[in-house]
Amino acid sequence: MVHLRIVAPSHAAEKALELLEHNPSVCNLVHLPRAAIRPEGDVILCDVAREDASVLIGDLRELEIDRDGSIAMEEIDSQISEAAKRAERAASGAVADAVVWEEVEQRTSENIELSASFIAFMVLAMLIAAVGILTDQIVLIIGAMVVGPEFGPIAAFCVAVVQRRRDVAKRSLLALAIGFPAGITATFLFTLGVDAADLIPEGFAEEGHPFTRFISSPDEFTFIVAYLAGMAGVLSLTNAKSGALVGVLISVTTIPAAANIGVAAALGDGDEWLGALGQLGLNLVAILLAGIGTLYVQRRLYVRRRRRHLYDESREAAGLPRGHSRRDARERGT
């Protein structure tokens, strides 16, 4: 279930109440007249089945509540309520497959800011990976995957492409375009310093670091693993699961390869440098293709659900047109 807190002017609140009252996937509906001070208006509280959360929020935005008031969402972890069970049964589909698109947009937009902390985490992740490469320690490579923050901008770019939001796409690409070079440069300088201090293990180049060699040896499985990681990342994002472990899956195909570019360049190993660069490029392409493809399918399923909902009786009760969206018409300029 998703908990909604709606603040709306009195005239809009009346229509919102009609909408929510006539929708069987809504329960625990509470109306607090004139309870809001800034902005002034009524407060409406309710719980809605996750499957119908986005379509109902779409109706509320048609009533321009997001412009004159606000709509806040909160996941309900546990709820003991027969009414809630009836509301969930009234909403078709599986809870695990439901996507609250407003939640996805908010979550991704928060993770694409080009900040000092983002750059710092990119640099630290690649430095840890560099030490893992030089010492051939897979544990350090895993540690670098955990630290890497690149999952946020990658996921945000996929969402932006599917929803055709150029501003978000540009901000995501900017974060990646600065974050990766910054980490690679730091790794390059770090490796030069380590080499000058004669701290690189003897026989490093000859041994070929077998445990971490996969970082610079792209093959068919490179694409497969990166593609599967991209799908897992997007599914975790849209299903409101914790993205930490999925971020590790994404990082296994990006952070170590990027770090190896700096290491190989500093040590003058051209073949290793080209291999790591190819690995990083192939990985990013596969992740983005998988992420965009998965989100596109989920978005099409939502659009179909939204179109069916446009004929719901609850829209008529709220004074909304049946069969089409006023908001879509406004966005098209008609």
Region 227-243: what's the mean pLDDT?
76
- Read off the pTM: 0.83
Q: Is the pLDDT of residue 208 over 60?
A: no
What mean pLDDT comes out for the span 127-134? Answer: 92
Say what the pLDDT of residue 6 is: 97
The 10s digit of each residue's pLDDT in 146-160 is 888 888 899 899 999
* 186 band by pLDDT with thresholds 50, 70 and 90: very high
Res. 286 pLDDT band, cuts 50 70 90:
very high
Average pLDDT over residues 36-60: 94
Asked whether residue 190 carries a pLDDT value surpassing 90, the answer given is yes
Instruction: Give the span between the Cα atoms of 177 and 171, in whole angstroms.
Output: 10
> Residue 246 pLDDT > 60, yes or no?
no
Among left, alpha and beta (phi > 0; psi -120 to 50; other), residue 94 is: beta
> Would the pLDDT of 298 be above 50?
yes
Mean pLDDT for 148-173 is: 90
Mean pLDDT of 273-285: 90
Phi, psi of 5 (to 5 degrees): -120, 115
| 267 pLDDT above the threshold of 80 | yes
* Cα 237 from Cα 256, distance rounded (Å): 23
User: Which range, 53-57, 91-95, 201-205, 217-221, is most confident?
Assistant: 53-57
What is the 3 state secondary structure string of 128-157?
HHHHHHHHCCHHHHHHHHHHCCCHHHHHHH
The pLDDT of residue 198 is 87
pLDDT of residue 66: 92
Classified as helix, coil or strand, 30 is: strand
Tell me what percent of the residues of the chain surpass a pLDDT of 90.
49
Q: Distance between CA atoms of 79 and 22, rounded to whole angstroms?
A: 22
pLDDT at 334: 41
What is the secondary structure of 248-310 as a DSSP string? HHHHTTTHHHHHHHHHHHHTT-HHHHHHHHHHHHHHHHHHHHHHHHHHHHHHHHHHHHHHHHT
Lowest-confidence pick of 217-221, 288-292, 293-297: 217-221
Has residue 251 got a pLDDT over 70?
no
Q: Which residue has the higher pLDDT, 138 or 35?
A: 35
Q: Bridge-partner residues for 71, per DSSP? A: 6
| CA gap 266, 191 in Å, rounded | 6
Please give the pLDDT value at position 331.
Answer: 47
Model pLDDT, residue 79: 87
- Pick from 88-102, 161-175, 309-323: least confident: 88-102
Q: What is the pLDDT of residues 1-22, one digit of tens each?
A: 999 999 999 889 999 999 999 9
User: Quick one: pLDDT band at residue 291, thresholds 50, 70, 90?
Assistant: very high
pLDDT, position 205: 63
pLDDT at 16: 95
Mean pLDDT across the chain, nearest whole number? Answer: 86
The neighbouring-strand residues paired with 47 are 3, 27
Would the pLDDT of 206 be above 60? no
Whether 283 has a pLDDT exceeding 80, the answer reads yes
- pLDDT greater at residue 241 or residue 146: 146
Q: What is the pLDDT of residue 20?
A: 95
